[in-house]
């Protein structure tokens, strides 16, 4: 698929497209892959409608995944710690905030008073 040599299959639907539901175009790719030391034939079918729906779903999931991380980071930014050990412990908790699509990189800075 990295070669981007898709074969256009075209529109396969029997119904006519409308304004709110455009025709779904399909394309196919055929190649050879090696799985567990055995060469195999691989066929990939790509649908334009499925691509749009999947993209919208992923965008929603990314936004939902980002929210807990953003709130935890905002709360941690407001907090000041008395010693470096407490700050490092809080940073470790922030790194462990579970998200599906994001990783949080946390650094501890010393601010002399």
Tens of pLDDT along the chain (113 residues)?
Answer: 566 778 777 776 666 767 777 777 788 888 888 989 999 998 888 777 766 777 888 889 888 888 888 888 888 888 888 888 998 998 998 888 878 888 888 888 888 77
Global pTM exceeds 0.95: no
Q: How far is CA 53 from the centre of its chain?
A: 14
Q: At a CB cut-off of 8 Å and minimum separation 6, what does 97 contact?
A: 68, 69, 72, 104
Residue 90 backbone phi and psi in degrees, to 5: -65, -40
Q: How far is CA 70 from the centre of its chain?
A: 17
């Amino acid at each position: 698929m990295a070669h981007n040599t898709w074969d256009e299959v075209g529109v396969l639907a029997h119904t006519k497209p409308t304004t709110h539901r455009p025709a779904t175009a399909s394309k196919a790719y055929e190649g050879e892959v090696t799985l567990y030391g055995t060469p195999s034939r691989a066929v990939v079918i790509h649908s334009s409608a499925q691509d749009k729906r999947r993209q919208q779903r992923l965008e929603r999931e990314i936004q939902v995944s980002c929210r807990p991380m953003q709130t935890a980071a905002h709360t941690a930014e407001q907090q000041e710690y008395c010693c470096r050990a407490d700050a490092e412990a809080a940073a470790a908790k922030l790194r462990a905030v579970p998200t599906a699509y994001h990783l949080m990189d946390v650094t501890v800075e010393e601010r002399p008073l």
